[in-house]
Structure 1
Amino acid sequence: MVIPGWLLQHEVTIEAYLGDTSTGPAYGPPVTARAYVEEKAKTVRGRDGEEVTASSTVWLLPTQDCPPESRVTVPAGRTASVITSSLYEGGGLPTPDHREVTLT
């Protein structure tokens, strides 16, 4: 079961991180995605295991690509970097499959 569309009341813009180049990070073209955005500070562990403060959590459809270090613009107009991007897929169980993204 996929997260119900009626829960995804917001729109975010995602620029997927493609990697580093000689001139700095490269990003894909902006993509608009339906989402649920929660603006709430919390402590999370980054990819390197260090504790960092996340300012927002975004829930997306499970098919939405949003790798770590991507840029996401939330409805408030703030652009932030992705700290973590986790896919929650229940393997056929009646759980809401979704992607959870934490932002700086």
Structure 2
Amino acid sequence: MPHRIIIQRYRGDGPVGPVYWPPGPPAPALVSETVRTVRDRTGAEVTSTAQIVAAPGLDCPPQSRITLPSGRVTTAIHVAAHTAPGLPVPESTEVFCQ
């Protein structure tokens, strides 16, 4: 994975807005900053301006803050774990960002 991202995991909502855990160590990933239409956790169609492919088990709940290699800070819209037991394809985690 040629890129590194930094994730501040979403912890919940506090009295003044979202609360995040401290940033984790840089995580290896493949980042594509392209515009796509995806569905968020409620099922609504939203625009994703960055997509991330990372190792399976990436700890990045929806609404987490992510710093991309370009320095842009974005928010995770949807996280999908891709597994294929018994098939000769790699497992991965895909994150769609605002």
Instruction: State the TM-score, normalized to the length of structure 2.
Output: 0.94
Query: AA paired with 2:81?
Result: L
Q: Name the counterpart of 1:58.
A: 52
Q: Name the counterpart of 1:5.
A: none
Q: CA deviation at 1:30?
A: 0.7
Q: Name the counterpart of 1:16.
A: 9
Deviations 1:40-62 (A, max 9, x none): 10100111111111001001111
Counterpart among 20, 26, 30 of residue 19 in structure 2 = 26
Give percent identity, aligned residues only: 41
Gaps of 5+ in 2: none
Count of aligned pairs: 97
Separation of aligned partners in 2, 1:93 and 1:21? 43
Q: CA deviation at 1:93?
A: 2.1
Q: Deviation above 4 Å: which 4+ runs of structure 1?
A: none
Query: AA paired with 2:12?
Result: G
RMSD of Structure 2 on Structure 1 (CA): 0.9
Instruction: State the TM-score, normalized to the length of structure 1.
Output: 0.89
Gaps of 5+ in 1: 1-7
Deviations 1:53-74 (A, max 9, x none): 1001001111210110000010
Separation of aligned partners in 2, 1:30 and 1:13? 6
Q: CA deviation at 1:94?
A: 1.5
